Amino acid sequence: MTIAPQDLERLDRLGAWLIAHDGHGTKRDFADALDLDGTQRRRILNHAGAAGWIIEPDRSTVALTPEGRARFGGLATGSAGALLDTLLDGWPARHRALAQLAACAILARRLDDDAPRVGFALIGGTGTGKTATAAFLARLFGHEPDRILVNLSTATDRPSGRRLQTGGTWTYEPSTWTSGPLVCLDEWDKTTDTARADLFATALHPAGRALVEDQVHAFAAVPILTANTPHAARGLDRLRTLGSTKMAQPVQRRCITLDTGARSQYDATALQRVTDAYRWHPQAADRLPLDDLPIPDSCDEDLAAMLNQHAHEALTETGLETFPGAHALEPLARVRRTLLPDDAPAPLAAALTMADYLTVTESLPEHVRPGWSDGVALWCQQMSSAPGVAGLAHALTSAAQAREATDRADRAARVQTATAGDALTRAAAELAAECKTARDHLDGRRLIRATDTQRVQAAGLRRLLGTLHDSAARTHTAVALEDLRDRATPHLRDAAALRAAVAHTEQQAAARKAADAIARREQREQDKHVRAAAVRAQRDAERMARTHARQTRTYRREQLRQLRAYTQPLERLYARTSTGPNESPLRDLAQITHPATGAPLLTFAPYPVKNGWGRALEVVAGSLARVETPTGDWSAGGQRFPGTPTSCADLSTWGPHTRAVLAPLLAHLHAGEDALTNALSEAPRAARPHIAPTPAPRAITTR
């Protein structure tokens, strides 16, 4: 199943959130933290569950599986060694060995505060991976490299902490870096002897704690020293970069020291792997969480005795004088055993630890016996069937390759030193290099902005400079060299002028490109502001629309309330069928007005005035019939009822005639009520009476 890129990012964020919350949490909490809606949350949980990274103990909780911890946290049981092997793949052998020893030392201090502590020192030329190794270890254990780096060239005379006076009492406050897993004490060679003495008594103390101002303070961070050696230093003189003679040897006894040599003896790709190991292995986990590491099993075998035996077999007298001691390497060997397969024997862990130590220490002259790898090879034969022994054989092969690279670099240095005393050879080499450099700078691939004329001129100069370069390499007399320099000077000057002209053209093109980039950036900023204004306007319009809709709904709800308050009394009158004593339906109906127009519901219209004889006959007829003679009609909604201004026989009781009067008005009111309930998406009133159709209007009788 293919997972979309945005879902892969959300999966990583889910894993990071669960790691930060001890591997479990509620679905609602992580959805709120990652700003996911319901659909996105279900999709991410389905992806993670299908991959086996999470489980759902109940309907509201998710938890990481061991595979999930390995995927998101960087460590599953037994996978720490595989992680280190992956990240250290392709490193120079000695850098790799020191990184493995340092990782084991950091883990050992984390698992046991009382374990003896050993530090590390990297000396050598600039750009040989000294600080980069410490930065890699910092990131490996989940720390930013800048947080563990202490630049001793700008530090005070007491880098480990500061003294504070409270009242009349002096106290000591350690620096913040002392409590971390490791610290890189950079530029050790550029600090003062006072600062070195302070760090030697605190950060480099083998117990990891020291008595300062009558108080015992912990210095848990594993120290990693870096120092630059002078280019001309050879042999044991290179160790003087650790300090004076009085200081250098004690530092060596407390630190496993690696001389990285000169940059020229390394392959560029190998150094790049040290500088940015995670770029070469992007699939590797981001860190090695200290809290999730398995605790080493108890070992019945005496690893210290094994390490001590190996040390005395492989180290010279000078090497034994600076050997930290088997008791200092034993915790590293115990941790190294947890990085091996479960059924790997303890002697293999001791052999690997000592092989790494000897690989590192072999970089120092006169410290390791020449045939030490033969003894380790014998250990490999004795444990040929043990799981993980292939790693020991690989370590021996890598150490031999590092030894050959160092020998080649030493031979090249000796040759260079032997020929450096010849002034003529040196001057000829300088002229040849100058001609070669000028010729290389005129390569057509570098003259991208050159015109056709400039390219033709460059081709001619390249041929002349090539001839001069070959002649300089074959020159053996001062006169010939001087003559050659006189011939080369104008051509070198022309080459420099041509390069300057092309560079000026390139600078102008770069300036135009930069101006265009600035214009595009400003246009993007302007477009962004326009889009932001449009978004704000749209949001304001939506907010106004919501406000208007809310106000309209409130107004309609108030209309509905008033309409029902007006309608319900009329419905009760409509439903009546009996009339009480002293009750006048006509009077009650005549008092009702239309809610919209305010016109009366029931109106009286008198008949046209008749002549005297007609009127007399009606009066006589009424007297004889003993009834009140109607003088007009009461009308409502097309219905007419004869009567007088004060009486109406049809409307004297509650019944069909009164319902006929109320029906049109109630039908109109009910229609308005239905319109409002539909607009408010509400159900109609269930108790509303049914309104019967209004009968046809009664005809007017001509009188």
- Residues 610-668 have pLDDT tens digits of 665 665 666 565 555 555 678 899 998 788 899 998 889 888 899 999 988 888 888 89
Lowest mean pLDDT among 31-35, 118-122, 355-359, 387-391: 387-391
Kindly give, in sequence order, each residue whose CB lies less than 8 Å from that of residue 398, ignoring residues fewer than 6 positions away.
93, 96, 97, 359
- Tell me how many degrees the CA angle 625-627-631 measures, rounded to the nearest 5: 120
Instruction: Please indicate, yes or no, whether the overall pTM of this predicted structure exceeds 0.85.
Output: no
Task: Give the Cα separation of 267 and 514 in Å (integer).
Answer: 36
- Residues 80-102 have pLDDT tens digits of 677 777 778 778 888 989 999 99
Q: Phi then psi for 13, rounded to 5 degrees?
A: -65, -40
Q: What pLDDT score does 401 carry? A: 65
Coil, strand or helix: which one is 234?
coil
Q: What pLDDT score does 525 carry? A: 92
Higher-confidence residue: 35 or 296?
Answer: 35
At how many degrees (to 10) do helices 93-111 and 389-420 cross? 130
Of the chain, the end-to-end C-alpha distance in Å amounts to 95
Q: How would DSSP label each residue in 630-676?
A: P-EEEEETTEEEEEBTTB-STTSSSSHHHHHHHHHHHHHHHHHHHHH
Coil, strand or helix: which one is 583?
coil
Q: Is the pLDDT of residue 702 over 50?
A: no
Q: How far is CA 128 from the centre of its chain?
A: 30
Task: Give the Cα separation of 356 and 333 in Å (integer).
Answer: 11
Q: Which two tokens stand for residue 229?
A: 């050696």
- Nearest to 672, CA basis, from 563, 594, 576, 581: 563
Q: Tokens 């990481």 sit at which residue? A: 64
Residue 695 to residues 102, 162, 389, 630, 656, Cα–Cα distance (Å): 105, 106, 109, 22, 10
Q: What pLDDT score does 551 carry? A: 94
Residue 194 pLDDT grade (very low, low, confident, very high; cuts 50, 70, 90): confident
Q: Which helix (H) or strand (E) holds 23?
A: none
Task: Give the Cα separation of 378 and 384 in Å (integer).
Answer: 10
